A and B are shown apart, each in its own frame.
Chain A
């Protein structure tokens, strides 16, 4: 944790602004990859709060991402033509609307997280993983059946609001919130729940409450990431958020070393770049991807970027 986290956040926002300023001179392909990386970093860091720091195994992150993606897309698609008419608004107006849409997406995902978390966090380990997986699939099937949100065809024509500034800004914000939270007095409760739930309960911590808080915050940022994703891809389908996506995020967290934010960020970058780098061997790239995953897991079971210095945790 940097000594002055608020200054670090401010610096990161300024950098985001700077990058946005020069984004026209960056190769659009690199920019797209960078946005993809940013979205995955948000997902992985937020899931790390649940799976890493609090030690609860959630397999439903893509479900919360889809809630955020759909709700924020619905908000901006409903409001944009009514506020700005045919020509679109100024950059500032569109930015404001996007922020509202993202927050709506994040909050609705957080609400979904609360609804899922309260009943299921009484369960442990594999069972929790399965229930979250089940909820993720139920959310997906429900979106497939809601005709006003496009049904199985998905939502098309979402305004292209996501820019590199928004992505970098929310990456910075996610990392800031998660880091400050786990290093606060309150946040020690997450680590205690992770380390030994029975002992934590014995000293009077309400572990269920900690789990739910971690779950809801994780879901909130997953919703934000979903909103960014929707306004970046401009079209979203329910099948894009199935449990393969959840697994992809979990793999980032585990490869990064559970409960190690820096490692998780590195793993998210690596795993987003890997399929891009393997593009020349297009046909075999996913075979190689899964093969590397097994090899990495067998050779570094503690996580790729967990070097045991500082306060790294397994």
Chain B
């Protein structure tokens, strides 16, 4: 029983990270209708900003950790907005496939530039937050897991507030619903899209830092697998749907942790895709998504 709870806790903390990354995918898909392949590399850049910032602040302090987290989020928000401005905005109105290929190009560019600048060898992520573990009735709770869950919950509440309680959030929802009508209502689509990229990239950076805290070996290709799985999580919950992305991330993280702890552990990378295929075959709109019929 305590083993089950332990696995559930591990799964939830992994799932919370997937959820943070998935939110970025789902928001960009919501406003632009394309898969931002470069998102997983923004996640990687976030972890590397954390790595370098981590050397400037004292280790094992709460304020140091939060400073690192904040710096990475701001840095990646700027990076995401730059990518959108330089690579995606010129293709506004082009077929989705072209934007998709450009996104793949940006993703490869970030990965290979990372390999040149940071080197291909994995590095050890510093322990910026205090490290402790508690035992609750046989379940070992590490402070990192608590930080992951707390940070994710706070960020998701903030996101929910921005999207549903602010003017820019209303504009985001309007663009997502109908971009042309949004323009007619006086919404500046470019500003909204840029803001969406910034917001999504900041969440990816937070995900990157939290991921690096739990798996403290970072390299320029670290984003590929978590990125793919987070995208699966976004689809699982229903793409374009913010609570759906959070739900999808939690389900995926939990299932993956249970598979990794079973005799099928070598198949853990395949399980996400198996879930993806099953969900798309039986409920293409995802768990919380709305199914739309194509009209002529």
Contacts of A144 in B (CB 8 A): 266
* B34 within 8 A of partner (CB): yes
Contacts of A127 in B (CB 8 A): 235, 280, 284
Contacts of A294 in B (CB 8 A): 87, 102, 105-106, 109
* B269 within 8 A of partner (CB): yes
* B116 within 8 A of partner (CB): yes
Give A119-161 interface residues, CB cut-off 8 Å to B.
119-120, 122-123, 125-127, 129-131, 133-135, 137-138, 141-142, 144-145
Contacts of A141 in B (CB 8 A): 266-267, 269-270
Q: List 14 A-B contacts (CB under 8 A).
A: A120-B280, A122-B281, A123-B280, A123-B284, A126-B100, A130-B35, A131-B276, A137-B228, A138-B270, A254-B97, A258-B97, A286-B115, A290-B111, A293-B108
Give B100-130 interface residues, CB cut-off 8 Å to A.
100-102, 104-106, 108-109, 111-113, 115-116
* A57 within 8 A of partner (CB): yes
Q: How large is the interface on B (under 10, 10 to 19, 20 to 34, 35 or more residues)?
A: 35 or more
Partner of B102, one of A120, A130, A297: A297
Q: How far is the CB of B235 from chain A (nearest CB, A)?
A: 7
Give A160-208 interface residues, CB cut-off 8 Å to B.
198
Binary B-proximity of A101-130 (CB < 8 A = 1, otherwise 0): 000000000000000000110110111011
Contacts of A258 in B (CB 8 A): 97
Residue of B nearest to A196 (CB): B296
Contact A125 B96 (CB under 8 A): yes
Contact A293 B101 (CB under 8 A): yes
Contact A298 B277 (CB under 8 A): no
* A262 within 8 A of partner (CB): no
Q: How far is the CB of A51 from chain B (nearest CB, A)?
A: 8
Q: How far is the CB of B221 from chain A (nearest CB, A)?
A: 10
Residues of B within 8 A of A (CB): 34-35, 87, 90-91, 94-98, 100-102, 104-106, 108-109, 111-113, 115-116, 228, 231-232, 235, 266-267, 269-270, 272-274, 276-277, 280-281, 284, 294, 296
Q: How far is the CB of A305 from chain B (nearest CB, A)?
A: 15
Contacts of A283 in B (CB 8 A): 116
Q: How far is the CB of B127 from chain A (nearest CB, A)?
A: 31
Provided the pairs A135-B277, A145-B267 are in contact, do residues A130 and B101 lie with their beta carbons within 8 angstroms? no
Contacts of A133 in B (CB 8 A): 228, 273
Question: CA A263 – CA B44 in complex, angstroms?
Answer: 35
Provided the pairs A126-B35, A134-B276 are in contact, do residues A297 and B270 lie with their beta carbons within 8 angstroms? no
